[in-house]
Structure 1
Amino acid sequence: MGSLSIWHWLIVIVLAMLLFGGRGKLSGLMGDAAKGIKAFREGLKGEDEDKGTSDGAASLPRADAEKDDLKR
């Protein structure tokens, strides 16, 4: 009951072949994941810069009457 059956060994072998078999599949997967994380961070950085430059009401044009109210 404590030993592994043939099905357990086959699953382990198949997983090992998928991860480590052929032209560095594991390193390729990790490289793709790193590129995705980098693109995600750059996207977040771009959103922060966009939010910081435009402040909604501050960037809207104002009528002369609104400008006079603000001066008071």
Structure 2
Amino acid sequence: MEFIAFDCHKRHTYAVVEDGQGRVKREGKILHDPGALVAFLVGCEPGSLVAVETVGNFGSWARSKKRAVFPGWST
């Protein structure tokens, strides 16, 4: 299992993926472009735990990511 952390900002999200021993496997800035989050998650292990840190724009961020990951999602 991996541990994935997202630090969300207005125009990008900083992401870190760690293995079960806390070693960083990869990290980087994900621009809020269509498909960018999905492209980042493709290499992650299924069932990984995810933490999201954000402030006031979380609702907008979450809705946009649902639509990106689940086409046809309505909020």
Q: TM-score if structure 2 supplies the norm length?
A: 0.21
Superposition TM-score, scaled by structure 1 size: 0.22
Which one has the largest radius of gyration? Answer: 1
Greater helix fraction, Structure 1 or Structure 2: 1
Quick check: which one's strand share is greater?
Answer: 2
